[in-house]
Amino acid sequence: MTNNEIIALLATRLSPKRLNHSIEVANEAKRLAKIYGQDEERLYLAGLLHDITKETLPEEQLKYLNESDIILTNIEKNALKLWHAKSGAEFVKNRLGIKDEEIISAIRFHTTAKKGMTKFEKLLYIADFTSLDRDYPGVEDVRRAADKSIEDAMFEGLSFTICDLAKQGRPIHPDTFEAYNEITLKREVL
Ligand code: DGI
Ligand code: FE
Ligand code: FE
């Protein structure tokens, strides 16, 4: 599939706002790839595809998940917003025939992150926070961090997410904690 064909497919599955977000994440992922010496075209593609099932009905997403051996944990069952990362990864693999395992994995972990991510996976995670369409308090800090250091940007994104979820009293996925702990243990503690 060409990028234009993928954008046309996304337009049938996503609202104009979410389509624009996907294109901006692709642009940002490509920009970060250039800074950090990763494959620009593959990160662009991962960005385009990362939210492909974000607006898909839960029952339909379960169908995609059942096409693989993915079993949702209790936390995942109770947090609908986590589903689109896993169902999206299965959708692009099984229905679009994407074979690039790193693209599939970057999509699978773009919402929770996890420990031991590759640079490629981290850059998609960061691009989802720093894309041009994002406008949340603190976005400028994450953008500044992203231009300087992958680890700093991961820390900003993960700590923002954990604080935000805790304030709302929502459960936090163990992968998110493990990613956060891995990064904080590597950072200098003052
Ligand atoms: O799909 P996007 O909106 O572009 O961004 P995303 O895939 O990072 O999803 C963000 C949403 O996912 C946001 O509402 C918070 C939620 N989320 C992220 N990590 C966790 C989580 N929700 C729970 N319950 N637990 C998590 O660890
Ligand atoms: Fe997402
Ligand atoms: Fe997104």
**Confidence band, pLDDT 50/70/90 cuts, at residue 188:** confident
- Type of residue found at 110: H
Q: Is the CB of 167 under 6 A from ligand 1?
A: no
Residues 6+ apart with CB under 8 A from 151: 183, 186, 187
The rounded Cα 89 to chain-centroid distance in angstroms is 10
Domain count across the chain = 1
pLDDT at 190: 63
Residue 70 has pLDDT above 90, yes or no: no
Give me the half-sphere count of Cα atoms (radius 13 Å) on the Cβ side of residue 92. 29
Res 187: pLDDT:
82
Q: pLDDT category, 103, cuts 50, 70, 90?
A: very high
Q: Note down the domain range covering 51.
A: 3-189
Residue 176 sits in a domain whose CATH number is 1.10.3210.10
Ligand 3 center–CA 71 separation, angstroms: 23
